[in-house]
Amino acid sequence: MSGDKLHLDHQTLLHLLAQMVRIRVFERRCAEMYQREKIRGFLHLYDGEEAIAVGVMEALTPHDAVIATYREHGQAIARGVPMTHLMAELFGKVEGCCRGRGGSMHIFDRARRFIGGNAIVGGGLPLAVGTALGDRMQGRDAVSACFFGEGAVDEGEFHESLNLAALWRLPVLFVCENNYYSMGTALADAESVTDIHAKAAGYGVASEAVDGNDVVAVELAARRAVGAIRAGGGPQLLECRTYRTRAHSMFDAQLYRDKAEVEAWKQRGPILRFQTWLESSHLVFDDEVAKLEAAAEEEVSAAIAFAEAGHFEALEDLERFVVMDEVPA
Amino acid sequence: MTVITYREACKQALRAALVADPRVFMMGEDIAAYGGCYAVSKGLLAEFGAERIRDTPLSESAFVGAGIGAAMAGMRPIVEIMTVNFSLLALDQIMNNAASIPHMSGGQFAVPLVIRMATGAGRQLAAQHSHSLEGWYAHIPGLRILAPATIEDARHMLAPALADPNPVLIFEHVMLYNVEAELDERIDAVDITHASIRRAGTDVTVVTYGGSLPRALAAADTLAAEGIAAEVIDLRVLRPLDMTTVAASVARTHRCVIVDEGWKSGSLAAEVCARLVEMVFYELDAPIARVCSAEVPMPYAAHLEQAALPNAGRIVAAVRQVVRPA
Amino acid sequence: MPSLGPDMESARVIEWLVKPGDTLHRGDVIVVVETDKGAIEIEVFEDAVVEALIAPLDAELVVGAVMARLRVAGESGTDARAVAATERVEPTVSSPAPAVAPAPPSAVIAQDSVGTPAASSAVASAGHRRASPAARKRAAGLGVDLAGVSGSGPGGAVLLADLAAVSAPRVKRAGGFDAAAMRRVIGAAMARSKREIPHYYLGQKISMASALRWLRQANESRTVEARLLPAVLLLRAVGLALRRTPTLNGFYENGAFRAGDGIHIGWAVALRGGGLVAPAIHDVDKKSLDELMTGLRDVVMRARGGALRGSELVDATVTVTSLGERGADTVLPIIHPPQVAMIGFGRVVERPWAVAGQVEVQPVIGVSLAADHRVSDGHLGSQLLADIERLLNAPETL
Amino acid sequence: MNEQQIRAMVADALAGIAPEVDLDTAGADQDLRQALDLDSMDFLNLVIALSQRTGRAVPEADYPRLFTLAGMAAYFAH
């Protein structure tokens, strides 16, 4: 899986599509479960941005660390976090990956080095610098992939972290999911320079802007960047330009953007584009798409059933894990 | 017995930690080439090299966050923040990541990180370098907060702090760095769980910590000459508070004065007071009194700064009022 | 009405985008609702046919209310579903917590791990008298009424030091004591007892020579405040003896005997001016003589001061009356229902007593038992009296 | 201590023990236990109060000397 060459064989292409469809179906059912009050709190869905998580994760190994955002279901699924534990977490059940303590915005999975959804915009960037530092000081060949939205670029942490990572030439892949709106504020209303990848140059960080709705392009760019990082070239920044086609969170009247704009981006959505291309190029057989869609539906339904059947943490354990007894091995 | 400074005790602790565990490294502003704002880390760069003694940019949020990340990746970082006022630039990382991730992740991740910082007033550094905000940090579940006030604690608290799987913040009072005392070499370890009775007495319990301990002990000397036997308790650990020791003392003396360089409103002193009321209300024979800093941003001029701070005279007056009410 | 956020309670229907008979596909927007945050489109999650639109335009609907009825593909018309309410029976309005909680939260949430309030043991007998909490606690322990203590603290507050000089318990009788009402209550209870309880009576004379000698010696080395009264020995002896005859310690209720949950002796206290109360002294068999003296002094003072707690009047599992040094030499008690026994002690009198074939003059007390024949009989009652005698003859074991 | 003084002291002590009794009804040679309906607990508490007010330890054997006001005055005179 390593290297910056992409072998577009039949199975690989189907896999990319299947990963994106799994995320899309998961998110649709999340919306449904939210409206049925099975899921509460804030819920941020990933519709339209699937190509980024799927493409970047393909370029990583299990040794690498992933630091995620609060819109991280797709990042978690693409990283391999089981949907059962993910959905149970959203249901607040003890079978959830964080025993119901994290919820939608704080998904952690130690076994997959998935170090958190982070609901403080920009809060994960310093962490990624730290995991990269720790890995390098211990001689590990590992990259820390840090996802953040373009809103995080407004924060000081973005600039502090790029600087520190570059200063110490740390193995960090900064992945900016630029969906053009930080909640309801358009990029141009928040940043004086809207070409985000250009900001990296100020810190001597190599960067690239890529069509974030093209899963193959994202994967190729991620492989290039990860390859350069592993070669000792220091951090890299990948700006993936995309669009979320759903509301910011569930309770959002979307007063800040036109329906026509949303509709236009939907037509350029990563799944629609990739699937259309595969079909028109005869790269998939007739029933393969239907099969992987059915499989995704089945997987998510099973995850919902798993979450439904789960249990709530005992109240006696309310204060557990506030103070740790030991560092988990 | 050798006489050393508090600063030297801190340095010995750091050196011992760096020798003992290759996972330990330091980072912070001007700790390496400069030798540390308060010269605590002077000489460590030459001994341990730039990989383990790391100067950082003036990016508190980034280097504290990097300490958290490195701790989660298996290292045992010691992060130095020049002074507690600067730590506010990293408050997000300390609160929202270090203190929250273990619980938020359902126990999947621990954050074995030590953050040291200078605190307190007395050096005419005015309002942006002199405050005592450790009480704010003591508010946060998931953190352990230490305030070494003696040479022994300065020398020995670091090792158990590094062994703790949780984030530990160590507050070193700026007025203690030059204090000299004999280091009892028979003591080779201290706990980071208990308060300590620094002087026994029967008439009143004076509860304090950090830079106010020498003032409280001086006050106790004065009071002894008046026939008032004050028991002086050094909290040592500001979170979790060892209220068992404090409450047991107050149950014996029936009176309590709390000395805290923080502001009175919403302070650590307020917390100790509230817990005493919860725990030993029916043992109290007088209202609990507090000696805290005046509620002003710390002023520059020496006479104003001194007027704002707790001192032995104010402690003596408070104790007199509690023990022999007018 | 679907829930779109934790802070959403209701919304107003502003536009239906479908009509009955329309065929819907998953993801279609069918209705627009006006929320606090503006207009939001509601989608369907299944392919379906619209059966009926239930919510009229402009209607304000709480979360969970039925908006429309849909027939999901493959269903017959009779089990059509309501939009966004398919699994709901009772709408709950904006409940951010899970509907199912495994246990009542109070036990855990009301307490944190850092310091729990100390239990209050003080008795509020001093009104609004200024006093330190410690002085209040000690005064309550001594049975001292703070109203009579001059305070040296600020504003005349009573401090611990002020109590060191204070002497005896001082209690004021609570106002509004109604002797006639108490007499009626006693009368009713005793009439019921006589009517319902088949009493049997046993009596015995016991030498108090050993007990009083032991007590005299014990008191010699005690300060006046710490001295014991003979009544404490009687109380303790009864408490220990009842351990071996548990069917005399408890209640007769609903046609059956229920054993007491401990040996809680109601001690009959005569009130000056008439009347009688028998507050409970708890777990007599588990307390030392000193603890019993403290307890006895406490309940006697508070009984006379009208400051008994309600529970003390109903907790007793058995009652003891002692007529004291100025009473008759025998008492035939009436059981206090629903208790099943009562023990009475008369006055200690000097009587000739045969010891090893010789007649001596000894202090003698008459002890009597009234017990409920529905629960026990004279054989058991005799055993209790024998045990009391044995214990009083060996006072060092008390 | 004369009888007047002892009477005042006993009245003060009784205010805390049996506030409803009226000491004026008791003559100097009357047994207070009977005159005021004091039981053994009341009497012990009275002895405690007098002992504390006078600073005298009162052995149990001396109790009979304190049954009357006259006896008390004599007892506490020295």
In C, minimum Cα distance to D16 occurs at C170
According to DSSP, residue B77 is labeled E
Mean pLDDT, residues B143-163 taken together: 98
Q: Check if B129 is active-site.
A: yes
CA atoms within 13 A on the CB side of C294: 12
Quick check: do B and A touch, 3+ CB pairs under 8 A?
yes
Q: Cβ separation of B57 and A164 shorter than 8 Å?
A: yes
**Which residues of chain B have a CB within 8 Å of the CB of C154?**
325-326
| Rounded Cα gap, residues A269 and A94, in angstroms | 35
In B, minimum Cα distance to C160 occurs at B285
Q: Cβ separation of B282 and C136 shorter than 8 Å?
A: yes
Q: Decide: C50 and C18 in contact? Cβ < 8 Å.
A: yes
Contacting subunits of A (3+ beta carbon pairs below 8 A): B, C
Find, among B142, B88, B122, B115, the residue nearest to B214 by Cα.
B122
Residue B14 lies in a domain: yes
Q: Which CATH class is domain C10-82?
A: mainly beta
In B, minimum Cα distance to C132 occurs at B285
- C348 exposure class (CB count in 10 Å sphere: 0-12, 13-18, 19+): buried
In sequence order, what are the residues at sequence separation of 6 or more whose Cβ sits closer than 8 angstroms to the Cβ of residue A262? A243, A245, A254
According to DSSP, residue C54 is labeled -
Residue written as token pair 């049975």: C143
Stated length of chain C? 398
In B, minimum Cα distance to C162 occurs at B285
The answer to whether residues B177 and B210 belong to one domain is no
Q: Which CATH class is domain C181-397?
A: alpha beta
Task: State CA C106 to chain mean position distance.
Answer: 20
The answer to whether residues B132 and B234 belong to one domain is no
Domain ranges of chain C: 10-82, 133-164, 181-397
Quote the pLDDT of residue A206: 97
Quick check: do D and B touch, 3+ CB pairs under 8 A?
no
The H or E element spanning position B46 is helix B44-48
Assess C84–A contact: CB distance below 8 Å, yes or no: yes
- Characterise B30 by phi-psi region: left (phi > 0), alpha (psi -120 to 50), beta (else): left
A contact set with C (CB within 8 A): 28-29, 31-32, 34-37, 40-42, 92, 247, 249-253, 255, 311-312, 314-316, 318-319
Residue B190 lies in a domain: no
Q: Cβ separation of B325 and C114 shorter than 8 Å?
A: no
In C, minimum Cα distance to D9 occurs at C167
| Rounded Cα gap, residues C131 and C276, in angstroms | 33
- Neighbour-count burial for B235-254, b at 16+ CB within 10 Å, e otherwise: bbbbbbbbbebbbebbbbbb
Helices (H), B55-193: 60-72, 84-87, 91-92, 101-104, 134-137, 151-156, 158-163
DSSP bridge pairs for B117: B81, B171
Q: What separation in angstroms does the CA of C169 have from each of C272, C275, D41?
A: 17, 21, 11
- Neighbour-count burial for B88-108, b at 16+ CB within 10 Å, e otherwise: ebbbbbbbbbbbbbbbbbbbb
| pLDDT tens, position by position, A273-327 | 999 999 999 999 879 999 999 999 999 999 999 999 999 999 999 999 999 999 9
Domain containing residue B316: CATH number: 3.40.50.920
Q: Which one of A37, A253, A319 has the shortest CB-CB distance to C35?
A: A253
Quote the pLDDT of residue A315: 94
Query: What is the Rg, in whole angstroms, of the alpha carbon atoms belonging to chain B?
Result: 20
Q: Decide: B4 and B183 in contact? Cβ < 8 Å.
A: yes
Quote the pLDDT of residue A41: 93
Quote the pLDDT of residue C82: 54
Report the number of distinct structural domains present in chain B: 2
Quote the pLDDT of residue D14: 82
The answer to whether residues B168 and B231 belong to one domain is no
According to DSSP, residue B297 is labeled P
Confidence label for C81 from pLDDT (cuts 50, 70 and 90): low
Contacting subunits of B (3+ beta carbon pairs below 8 A): A, C
In sequence order, what are the residues at sequence separation of 6 or more whose Cβ sits closer than 8 angstroms to the Cβ of residue C287? C236, C239, C281, C295
Q: Cβ separation of C135 and B285 shorter than 8 Å?
A: yes
Q: Decide: C235 and C390 in contact? Cβ < 8 Å.
A: no
Q: Cβ separation of A37 and C102 shorter than 8 Å?
A: no
| pLDDT tens, position by position, D44-71 | 888 988 887 787 888 888 898 899 988 8
For residue B224, the distance in angstroms to the closest alpha carbon of chain C comes to 20
**Which residues of chain C have a CB within 8 Å of the CB of D13?**
167-168
Contacting subunits of D (3+ beta carbon pairs below 8 A): C
Mean pLDDT, residues A112-135 taken together: 97
Q: Which one of A92, A253, A314 has the shortest CB-CB distance to C40?
A: A253
What the block records as the tokens of B140 is 């946060």
Q: Decide: D50 and D9 in contact? Cβ < 8 Å.
A: yes
Quote the pLDDT of residue C277: 81
Q: Check if B131 is active-site.
A: no
| pLDDT tens, position by position, C17-30 | 999 999 998 888 88
% of chain C at pLDDT higher than 90? 36
Domain ranges of chain A: 10-307
Assess C219–D contact: CB distance below 8 Å, yes or no: yes
Residue contacts between C and D (CB atoms, under 8 Å)? 74
Of B129, B157, B183, the residue that ends a domain is B183
Domain containing residue B85: CATH number: 3.40.50.970
Q: Which one of A97, A127, A326 has the shortest CB-CB distance to B65?
A: A127
**Which residues of chain B have a CB within 8 Å of the CB of A68?**
none
Say whether A192 sits in a helix, a strand or coil: coil
Kindly give the pairing relationship between strand C38-43 and strand C29-35: antiparallel
For residue C223, the distance in angstroms to the closest alpha carbon of chain D comes to 7
Kindly give the pairing relationship between strand C341-345 and strand C269-270: unpaired
For residue B204, the distance in angstroms to the closest alpha carbon of chain A comes to 33
pLDDT for D38 beyond 50:
yes
The answer to whether residues B111 and B9 belong to one domain is yes
Q: Decide: B39 and B9 in contact? Cβ < 8 Å.
A: no
Find, among C286, C266, C288, C269, the residue nearest to C277 by Cα.
C269
- Neighbour-count burial for A125-163, b at 16+ CB within 10 Å, e otherwise: bbbbbbbbbbbbbeebebbbbbbbbbbbbbbebbbbbbb
**Which residues of chain B have a CB within 8 Å of the CB of C118?**
278-282
Quote the pLDDT of residue C283: 92
For residue B95, the distance in angstroms to the closest alpha carbon of chain A comes to 11
The answer to whether residues B67 and B91 belong to one domain is yes
Q: Which one of B73, B108, B109 has the shortest CB-CB distance to A130?
A: B73
- Among the residue ranges B36-45, B250-259, C301-310, the one predicted with the least confidence is C301-310
Structural domain span for residue B85: 2-183
Quote the pLDDT of residue C181: 67
Domain containing residue D36: CATH number: 1.10.1200.10
| pLDDT tens, position by position, B202-261 | 999 999 999 999 999 999 999 999 999 999 999 999 999 999 999 999 999 999 999 999
Quote the pLDDT of residue B15: 98
Between residues C195 and C320, which one has the greater pLDDT? C320
Q: Cβ separation of C101 and A255 shorter than 8 Å?
A: no
Q: Which one of D17, D51, D61 has the shortest CB-CB distance to C169?
A: D17
Of B122, B150, B183, the residue that ends a domain is B183
| Rounded Cα gap, residues C155 and C143, in angstroms | 23
| Rounded Cα gap, residues C58 and A150, in angstroms | 39
Between residues C223 and B224, which one has the greater pLDDT? B224
Catalytic residue (one of B29, B60, B261, B305): B60
The answer to whether residues B153 and B14 belong to one domain is yes
CATH of domain A10-307: 3.40.50.970
Q: Cβ separation of C137 and B286 shorter than 8 Å?
A: no
Angle between helices A124-137 and B60-72 (to 10 degrees): 50
Q: Cβ separation of A120 and B96 shorter than 8 Å?
A: yes
| pLDDT tens, position by position, B295-311 | 999 999 999 999 999 99
For residue D4, the distance in angstroms to the closest alpha carbon of chain C comes to 20
Confidence label for C178 from pLDDT (cuts 50, 70 and 90): low
Confidence label for C85 from pLDDT (cuts 50, 70 and 90): very low
Q: What separation in angstroms does the CA of B233 have from each of B199, B214, B320, C195, C244?
A: 7, 11, 18, 67, 52
- Among the residue ranges A167-171, A254-258, C162-166, C383-387, the one predicted with the least confidence is C162-166
DSSP E strand stretches across B264-300 = 289-293
**Which residues of chain C have a CB within 8 Å of the CB of A41?**
6, 96
Catalytic residue (one of B8, B29, B80, B129): B129
Report the number of distinct structural domains present in chain D: 1
The answer to whether residues B49 and B179 belong to one domain is yes
Task: State CA A216 to chain mean position distance.
Answer: 16
| Rounded Cα gap, residues A259 and C204, in angstroms | 102
Quote the pLDDT of residue C96: 41
Residue written as token pair 């040094």: C325
Assess B112–A contact: CB distance below 8 Å, yes or no: yes
Stated length of chain A? 329
Quote the pLDDT of residue C166: 60
DSSP bridge pairs for A149: A177
| pLDDT tens, position by position, C92-132 | 334 344 434 343 333 333 333 333 333 333 333 334 678 99
For residue C86, the distance in angstroms to the closest alpha carbon of chain A comes to 8
Quote the pLDDT of residue D78: 66
DSSP bridge pairs for C344: C321, C368
Quick check: do A and D touch, 3+ CB pairs under 8 A?
no
Q: Cβ separation of C133 and B278 shorter than 8 Å?
A: no
Confidence label for C138 from pLDDT (cuts 50, 70 and 90): confident
| pLDDT tens, position by position, A128-143 | 999 999 999 999 999 9
Structural domain span for residue D58: 3-75
Q: What is the pTM of this model?
A: 0.68
Give ∠ CA A125-A128-A132 in degrees, rounded to 5. Answer: 145
Confidence label for C152 from pLDDT (cuts 50, 70 and 90): confident
Kindly give the pairing relationship between strand B204-208 and strand B256-263: parallel
**Which residues of chain C have a CB within 8 Å of the CB of A319?**
112-113
pLDDT for C326 beyond 50:
yes
| pLDDT tens, position by position, C328-362 | 888 999 998 889 999 999 999 999 999 888 899 99
Q: Cβ separation of A160 and B109 shorter than 8 Å?
A: no
Q: Choosing among A26, A28, A35, A318, which should be mutated to test the C contact, i.e. which has the most C CBs within 10 A?
A: A35
Confidence label for D29 from pLDDT (cuts 50, 70 and 90): confident
| pLDDT tens, position by position, B87-146 | 999 999 999 999 999 999 999 999 999 999 999 999 899 999 999 999 999 999 999 999
Q: How far apart are the first and last CA of chain B?
A: 46
Q: What separation in angstroms does the CA of B31 have from each of A234, B54, B91, B98?
A: 24, 7, 20, 22
Q: Which one of D15, D39, D48 has the shortest CB-CB distance to C224?
A: D48
Q: Which one of D18, D44, D52 has the shortest CB-CB distance to C227?
A: D44
What is the average pLDDT score of chain C? 79
